[in-house]
Amino acid sequence: MAYHIWCLFAVLFLGNGSRSTISRATISFQPSQTLPVKGEDFTMTCIYSPPTYDRTVHWTHGGSQVAYESCTSAGSCTSNIPNLIKYKLMADDRSTSLTIINLTTGDNGRYTCDVLYLHGQRSANEILEVLYPVSPSRVVMTDTQSGWQYLDNTSISVTAGEPFGITCEAYQARPPVVLQWVTTKGVSAVHHDQSDVIQDGSYISRRTLIITPTRNDHGQILSCIISHPELQKNIRRSVSLNVHVLPASVLLFPTGGNQSLSTVLYVQEDSLTSITCKSIGSFPATELSFWLIVDAFERTPILANVSSNRSILDDTLFDTESTITIRPDATKHGMHIVCSSYMEDAFFVKLLTARLVVYGLPVDVTISIPGDMFEGAETNITCRALNGYPAPLIHWYIGSRNLTDNSSLETSLNAADRYDAESTLTLIPMMFDQEGRCH
């Protein structure tokens, strides 16, 4: 960008003014927020300090005066602009601005701003070089959430009820382009103001649209229209909406049971058991899959039967069911069944986890008798039942006599998270005690 600024300072003492006042006075050109582009208006602003209403301002171009203003108070100013078609002058007690109308290459050159105070004078110079208009080199549409760029006529996935921002961007234009978003009637949208940033002698222009889509907006079109003096016709970039509806709920439960979310699944050892994962009211149909989680490092997929039907809540949506059948043994006790539900395009993933509790008999029951038993002599007999769930209860009998009250019972959780039980019967055997048992 060939755009240069020189600031020159001169001091002229008039009368008996204060040297300290002049020594503190400053003047400079304020950096412009726009570029000097041929055919556009361009404003140069000269700021000075300390503020004063009592001043005289001269603007010159190449040594020729183009504007003049003299003020003795805030409301008492006289000005002279020889060419009102070409220049406009604005001023206050802190700054003076010269606007050049409809820039041409003839406006190139040095502009000088002279401010005469009661106590002296300050001057600043700026070199102006007019730039030629340039059409935008690139136009893109960007997702404000992820920064993902979309090609023209792309279908973009959005979620019903969730705000979604998309930005139209135009690069390397002079002057800035004009960006306009056009939406189909009925789409709830908030139009943000356009921003124009100068970079490397041209503009980057952006304008953002925030929509909150509904199910009815599926297939609707969002268009960004780009206008610029150097374009023979406007540029249009469009995207269509692929509106996802997230499921109202996702449930995991024993098949045939109450359809509510279960975090614990009670199953019978070595018995066929069905488990269902259900997604209610989504669009498109939710993807469902089952996994058996063995530990932190191992998981096993479980083959499932999956079906999708129109939702009972809304026939434009889908209910999806996935059902597995397992025959658990004691080794599956404490493991977790996971149902994974997802919509990849909508970045929706939900994991439902339920712990398997496998009911089953102990794997081993033993009775320990300490040698021979003698009539009338107190004897302790121990019965052990291992790896059962829930905790085994041990009862003692001799014939039909229940001796459980004469026994103790201790249970403990083992490493498999199942129960071991041990009961000790204290017995004084008699001759008629021919047969005893525990169960």
CB count, 10 Å around CB of 260?
Answer: 9
Of the residues 128, 159, 180, which one is the last residue of a structural domain?
A: 128
Q: How sure is the predictor about 8, in pLDDT bands with cuts at 50, 70 and 90?
A: very low
**Secondary structure element (H or E) that encloses residue 21, with its range:** helix 19-24
Residues 348 and 400 in one domain: no
- Say if residues 13 and 66 touch (Cβ distance below 8 Å): no
| Structure tokens, 188 | 């709830």
Residues 345 and 368 in one domain: no
Residues 118 and 33 in one domain: yes
Q: What is the mean pLDDT of residues 26-32?
A: 90
Residue 279, in any domain of the structure: yes
Residue 105, in any domain of the structure: yes
Q: Is 163 helix (H, G, I), strand (E, B) or coil?
A: coil
Of the residues 128, 152, 180, which one is the last residue of a structural domain?
A: 128
**Nearest Cα to Cα of residue 145 among 130, 161, 167:** 167
* pTM to 2 decimal places: 0.72
Residues 235 and 325 in one domain: no
**Nearest Cα to Cα of residue 361 among 384, 327, 392, 394:** 392
Residue 9, in any domain of the structure: no
pLDDT, one tens digit per residue, over 124-141 is: 999 999 999 999 999 999
Q: How sure is the predictor about 7, in pLDDT bands with cuts at 50, 70 and 90?
A: very low
Range of the domain at 308: 249-359
- Say if residues 59 and 98 touch (Cβ distance below 8 Å): yes
Residue 3, in any domain of the structure: no
Query: How many residues comprise the chain?
Result: 439
- Say if residues 121 and 10 touch (Cβ distance below 8 Å): yes
| Structure tokens, 314 | 């809304």
Residues 62 and 104 in one domain: yes
Residue 14, in any domain of the structure: no
Q: Which CATH number belongs to the domain containing residue 340 in this structure? A: 2.60.40.10
Q: What is the mean pLDDT of residues 98-120?
A: 92
pLDDT at 434: 52
Of the residues 86, 107, 128, which one is the last residue of a structural domain?
A: 128
Share of the chain above pLDDT 70, in %: 90
Buried b (16+ CB within 10 A) or exposed e, 168-186: bbbbebbbbbbbbbebeee
